[in-house]
Amino acid sequence: MYISLILLLSLRYASAALQDERAQPLLDLSSLSVYSENTWDRISPPKDAIIVDGSANPGNFTTVQSGVNALSLNTTIPQVLFIYPGTYVEQVYIPLLRSNLTVQGWTTDARSYENNTATITFNLSKLSVSSNDLTATVRQWNTNTKFYNLNIANTFGHVDVNGQNLAISAHTGNQGYYGVQFWGYQDTILANTGNQLYAKSLIVGAIDFIFGQTATAWFENVDIRTIAPGYITASGRSTASNPSWYVISHSTVDGINDTIPAASSALGRPWSSFARVVFQDTFLGDVIAPAGWSVWSSGVDGNTQNVTFGEYANYGPGSEKEEGPRANFSRQLDAPISREVVLGDGYEDEWWVDMSYL
């Protein structure tokens, strides 16, 4: 598909470091060390990590799924899966473990996604499987999990019917994603259940590409990029008692490049009638339409009767300040939403929350 080619080329462009690293000789794995103190490089696995390197070195694994399969289902000791540079073409399923899990991609600077070198990519849509979750390149079903410095892509592209193609199915709570790139078209991130945190990451898509039903998800310092006309969020919050929030804070929203038409995307549309989404303190590029938000589909109210679509102190050419009145079912907030409202009191002490990224 044409759009699949665009995704592949864009991913390659955005991760130029990946090409440089793969051009080098295989890394010497003979002297493994713990993460260097007082630095942000992640170039050697910590002691006892499961290692994926694609090179068939003894004791290591050539695919991410084989590395996952080597994790213990029963230990309560925290586990680490360390992934060396490479492009891993596969679908990965991480089951429920009894332990905390860290998944770390090789990088010389873990503070952002720009130096990521490990990519997991697959090409699958709902045309071929029975659920959104089953399309995901990474199906992450373990609680208390942190991902660092990986590129996760679904390169299927788009069709009008059953075109859902997830990069990540974050199907459980207590998940944190730091310096991760997510690439897709429709439904890139399924943030579905429980507390979730996305920080200093890149999220790429076109249609409903942050979506789910009951998750309380916080997005901090993320770069959201559209690759075609569409809608950024699709909250499936269906009742007033549903705890779900999507809050995008101190982030940027724009087109992936200057070919993306102005006013071609909405901040969100309501998958269900109690949808709840807030963008705050965020730069909005000219890809955001003047109305800001959209109905779900044609009809009397388009699922908008009970929505909470809010904005606070956004700026840039796609903000209300620049473009004029927003949709009448959205509102400008008097104050920002706090992390405690979404993630709960004491969130900063949770294992899966890495405060160094906030």
HSE, CB side, 13 Å, CA atoms: give it for residue 284.
Answer: 32
**CA-wise closest residue to 91 among 129, 43, 143, 148:** 129
- How far, in Å, CA of 342 to CA of 189, rounded? 18
Nearest residue to 174 (alpha-carbon basis) of 349, 49, 338, 40: 349
Give the phi and the psi of residue 154 in degrees, each rounded to 5. Answer: -120, 115
Q: If we measure between CA atoms, which residue out of 72, 79, 75, 69 comes closest to residue 48?
A: 79
- Which pair of structure tokens corresponds to residue 239? 């009742």
**Catalytic residue flag (residue 160):** no
Say if CB 67 and CB 52 are below 8 A apart. Answer: yes
- CA atoms within 13 A of residue 157's CA, in its CB half-sphere: 9
DSSP 8: H
For residue 147, give the H/E element and its range.
Answer: strand 145-148
Three-class secondary structure assignment of 169-217: EECCCCEEEECCEEECCECCEEECCCEEEEECCEEEEEEEEEEECCCEE
**Looking at 208, 223, 254, 354, which residue is catalytic?**
208
Bridge partners of 308, per DSSP, are: 276
Q: Which residues pair with 352 in a beta bridge?
A: none
Query: Do residues 260 and 226 make contact, with C-beta atoms less than 8 angstroms apart?
Result: yes
Known catalytic residues are 208
